[in-house]
Structure 1
Amino acid sequence: METNRKSLYPDVTAAGGLGPAMREAAQLRGCDTGVAPWAVDVVVIQTARGFLAVDPETEERLFRLSVRIPGFDWEIGSTGDLGLLVEAVAAWRDGTPFDELAEGFGFLELDAFVGALERGDPTSSQWTELLSSDFNRNQWNLLRRLRADEVLRNMFPTITHGAVRLQVDPLDGTSRQVLVAELDGERCEVMRVGVPEATWVGVPTGDLIAYLRAALNEE
């Protein structure tokens, strides 16, 4: 398999790995992919629209590009052209609108991905997943209470160290988000992630929904 990979990806082999090859190709084209200096064979790039992952095929020369957020992984296209790949990654990272990306890079297949975002599928599917997993049984009551609210059910939920994390934008790790931990039937603790000197604040259960709505809708 290693011999086959070398024959399919001589540029990657010569550069010392996928990461160095992408950095070299981007430098030649004057663009920035955000590939970390330490990335060698595994390339996952953090962007404002999710993590981009690049995976080379083993049977043919093809770089598969996918978007990853917690619980989801969409393949959005593939190409054998490393130069075209890095230009597309750089454009995605720069925030180029989806329609312009699709028009400028014919190998990208964004209809299903964009459609899922517009329908809110990632968020609703994530709620269902968390509420059907026995691993999260201790958080089920809190999750049900949060999802019952017409505003909070539109926030993307994950579980972090036993606390429920609600995030406004599932693709943007810097978007407004809170952590919620249930102490007992009367009180919860909430932390506003990303604010200066963030700390846990006790909130009466009866005030929880209003508190979270305010925290997640602040500008």
Structure 2
Amino acid sequence: MSMDAHRKDPYPDVTASGGLAPAMREEAKLRGCDIGLAPWATDVISIETARGFLSVDPAAEERLFRLGVHIPGFTWEIGSTGDLGLLVEAVAAWREGIPLDELQERFEFIELDEFTRALERGEPTSSQWSDLQSSDFHRRQWNLLRRLHADEVLRNMFPTITHGAVRLRVDPLDATSRQVLVRELDGERHEVMRLGVPGATWVEVPTGDVIAYLRAALNEE
């Protein structure tokens, strides 16, 4: 065995629990926090929240849990700490939707400058529009994307492409926020589906009305 094999484990608590996820779950239980971690998760940690996915990545050489946020096309590291309890409390607070400035005050290890600046710039939405409109893979949707992006309301929606249809979502960070699917049938007709409503189904909409129809569907409270 090499010398390295005898080095001290910086994560004895994690090892004893059988992995990072069980260790985080135990710590959360002790602290009465809800971190939304699936009971079957062991090591690969990605926690879905209303503000993107949180990931926890332990450093190899020293005891340090690195906390990251992912949303489609974007990843930020937002801080790291060696304190598992503190980490768990920060994850729970993030999931609760605590305002970002309050979060940063409460947890000194969290650093949100880049993340908040990107959101203020309208990211990831504006980058996502330009990526889709310049991707050869989505060439068939370019015309539709251009028409949607030309509208000053719809260009603020977060676009993705699902099975050839363009999906527009009100909030890029919230996968459950109001959203619609739209696809072009031919020059005269489009089909639109409002997601998340009972009995969602495709509705045929004349091309001339599709922008107004989408605006209304995304604007409903």
Q: Under TM normalisation by the shorter chain, which class is it?
A: over 0.9
Deviation per CA, 1:89-141, whole angstroms, max 9, x where unpaired?
00111111111100000111111111211220210010011111111111111
**2: CA distance, partners of 1:137 / 1:80:** 46
Provide the residue aligned with 1:215 in structure 2: 217
Change beyond 3 A, Cα 1:15–1:183: same
Select the residue among 111, 114, 126 that pairs with 1:112. 114
In structure 1, distance between residues paired with 2:158 and 2:43: 31
Report the more deviating stretch, 145-154 or 4-13: 4-13
TM-score of the superposition, structure 1-length normalised? 0.96
The one of 117, 123, 126 aligned to 2:125: 123
Corresponding residue number in structure 2 for 1:140: 142
Equivalent-residue separation in structure 2 for 1:4 and 1:204 (angstroms) = 70
Distance 1:110 1:4, change over 3 A: farther
Q: Counterparts of 1:157-176 in structure 2 under 5 Å?
A: 157-176=159-178
What is the CA–CA distance in structure 2 between the aligned matches of 1:51 and 1:5, rounded to whole Å?
A: 33
Identify if the C-alpha distance between structure 1 residues 208 and 6 changes in structure 2 by more than 3 Å, giving closer, same or farther: farther
1:204 to 203, 206, 209: 206
**Which of 90, 95, 108 lines up with 1:88 in the alignment?**
90
- SS of the equivalent of 1:170 reads coil
Counterpart of 1:46 in structure 2 is: 48
Amino acid at match of 1:108: I
Q: Which runs of 5+ in 1 are unaligned?
A: none
Change (3 A) 1:156 1:78: same
Task: Give, in whole Å, the separation in 1 of the partners of 2:23 and 2:85.
Answer: 10
Aligned to 2:185: 183
Q: CA deviation at 1:60?
A: 2.0
Identity across aligned pairs (percent)?
79
Alpha-carbon deviation of 1:4? Answer: 8.3
Change (3 A) 1:134 1:4: farther
Aligned to 1:18: 20
TM-score, normalised via structure 2 length: 0.95
SS of the equivalent of 2:124 reads helix
Q: CA RMSD in A?
A: 1.5
CA distance in 2: counterparts of 1:77 and 1:127, whole angstroms: 28
Query: Secondary structure, in 3 states, of the residue corresponding to 1:178?
Result: strand
Q: Separation in 1 of the partners of 2:167 and 2:191?
A: 12
Larger radius of gyration: 2
1:109 alignment partner AA: E
Whole-angstrom CA distance in 2 between matches of 1:165 and 1:20: 36
| Structure 2 spans left out of the alignment, 5+ residues | none
8 Å contact from structure 1 (residues 5, 58) kept in 2: no
Runs (4 or more) in structure 1 with deviation over 4 Å come to: 2-6
Quick one: distance in 1 between partners of 2:59 and 2:130?
A: 32
